[in-house]
């Protein structure tokens, strides 16, 4: 049997955490033959609820789950962690400005960066889910300078999967036959879902999504806004934010990163920009990536038209603003 991999989930008593931990324990994140140890961290007011989640994990008798730690102590939570999924964060409440959420999260992510840097495995892979995800990831990166920058990522896979889902619904094809959509930029409403290189496996070969949809007007307007605003649509319908789809896509993100993307297929991940596609280096920006042997690489050489260029730049501009806001808080 393989040695267990230790996975940290922060904010584990929250609704994404509650959907995520059983998926990890069932092997959806690291494979059906991979034993796991789950560390769950939450804050003091959620300690009792977190205990309840631990009880349910025990009651579910998952064969792959070798141990569970439920704690409010960041040091204990980070000890020996190989994969860290950072879901805990201060939620944006009604009337709060971006700046207010940001200042709460800057201090949370600074503290957690230190705990991770000191106690997690040195090659720990980090996925930030809590919003503003890209900027939280950047803060984490800056306050855990000994971690390789390439090990710090943020979640845009949910947006990616939503884009696949919209194309699949529109064309009435199976979602598993749609591939190579791209989410560029920030996990926010400025993100740019791009289908210019996406294809569908039709049985008679791969066909471009643009050709099959044959409605540029829809692709350039409604498709984009539907993906950008899907989170809000779910809140309206469920009176709660998306949780199962966020948890599922967090598993997809780590699984593909660790185990590799299928040949000819790319996925979207928020990663540390090296300046590819003219995006400022040093931002955490969502790019199309392929993964092999536990390493991601940005897909190179995609043709970018004017329409895409403007949108890719608009979302990077927002990230530059968020970064400078975070830097200001950092000084104070």
Interface ranges with ligand NDP (CB under 6 A): 10-11, 13-17, 42-43, 46, 87-92, 108, 129-131, 133, 158, 231, 241-243, 246
Residue 196 to residue 141: CA distance in whole angstroms: 31
- In the complex with ligand NDP, the residue whose CB is nearer, 179 or 230, is 230
H/E element, 207: strand 206-208
Name the active-site residue from 39, 160, 187, 253.
187
Least distance from C-beta 111 to ligand NDP, angstroms?
7
User: Which helix (H) or strand (E) segment is 154 a member of?
Assistant: strand 152-154
In the complex, what is the shortest distance from the CB of residue 234 to ligand NDP, in angstroms, rounded to a whole number? 8
CB of 289 to ligand NDP, least distance (A): 19
Nearer Cβ to ligand NDP (250/299): 250
Buried b (16+ CB within 10 A) or exposed e, 8-31: bbbbbbbbbbbbbbbebbbbbbbe
Rounded Cα gap, residues 326 and 243, in angstroms: 27
174 in catalytic set: no
CA distances from 29 to 90, 257, 287 (A): 25, 10, 21
Contact present, 315 and 191 (Cβ < 8 Å) = yes
Which of 248/290 has CB closer to ligand NDP?
248
Q: What is the DSSP letter of 205?
A: S
Q: In terms of CB distance, is 103 or 308 closer to ligand NDP?
A: 103
Point out which residues pair with 292 in neighbouring strands. Answer: 295
Query: Which one, of 99, 141, 162, lies nearest residue 273 by Cα?
Result: 141
In this structure, the number of other CB atoms found within 10 A of the CB of residue 158 comes to 25
Minimum CB distance to ligand NDP smaller for 98 or for 210: 98
Chain length of the chain: 332
Mutual orientation of helices 306-331 and 98-119 as an angle, nearest 10°? 80
Q: Whole-number minimum distance, CB 52 to ligand NDP, in Å?
A: 12
Residue 289 CA to its chain's centroid (Å): 13
> For ligand NDP, which residue has the nearest CB?
14
CB of 231 to ligand NDP, least distance (A): 5
Q: Which of residues 87 and 173 has its CB atom nearest to ligand NDP in the complex?
A: 87
CA distance 18 to 16: 5
The distance of Cα 99 from the centroid of its chain, to the nearest Å, equals 21
Shortest spacing between CB 227 and ligand NDP, in angstroms: 12
Query: Could you list the active site residues?
Result: 187
């Amino acid at each position: 049997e393989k040695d267990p991999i230790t996975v940290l989930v922060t904010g584990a008593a929250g609704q994404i955490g509650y959907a995520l931990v059983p998926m990890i324990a069932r092997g959806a994140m690291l494979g059906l033959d991979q034993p796991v140890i789950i560390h769950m961290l939450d804050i003091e007011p959620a300690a009792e609820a977190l205990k309840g989640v631990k009880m349910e994990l025990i009651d579910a008798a998952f064969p792959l789950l070798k141990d569970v730690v439920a704690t409010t102590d960041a040091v204990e939570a980070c000890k020996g962690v190989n994969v860290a999924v950072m879901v805990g964060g201060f939620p944006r409440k009604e009337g709060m400005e971006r700046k207010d959420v940001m200042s709460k999260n800057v201090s949370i992510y600074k503290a957690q960066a230190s705990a991770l840097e000191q106690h997690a495995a040195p090659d720990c892979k980090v996925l930030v889910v809590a919003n503003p995800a890209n900027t939280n990831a950047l803060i984490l990166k800056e306050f855990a300078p000994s971690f390789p920058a390439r090990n710090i990522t943020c979640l845009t896979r949910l947006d990616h999967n939503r884009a696949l889902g919209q194309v699949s619904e529109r064309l009435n094809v199976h979602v598993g036959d749609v591939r190579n959509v791209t989410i560029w930029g920030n996990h926010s409403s400025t993100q740019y879902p791009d289908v210019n290189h996406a294809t569908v496996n039709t049985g008679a070969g791969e066909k471009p999504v643009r050709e099959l949809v044959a409605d540029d007007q829809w692709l350039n307007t409604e498709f984009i806004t539907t993906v950008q605003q899907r989170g809000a649509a779910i809140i309206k319908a469920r009176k709660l934010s998306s949780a199962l789809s966020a948890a599922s896509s967090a598993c997809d993100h780590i699984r593909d990163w660790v185990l590799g993307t299928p040949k000819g297929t790319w996925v979207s991940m928020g990663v540390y920009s090296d300046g590819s596609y003219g995006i400022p280096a040093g931002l955490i920006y969502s790019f199309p990536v392929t993964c092999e042997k536990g390493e991601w690489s940005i897909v190179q050489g995609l043709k970018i038209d004017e329409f895409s260029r403007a949108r890719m730049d608009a979302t990077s501009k927002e990230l530059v603003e968020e970064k400078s806001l975070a830097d200001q808080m950092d000084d104070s």
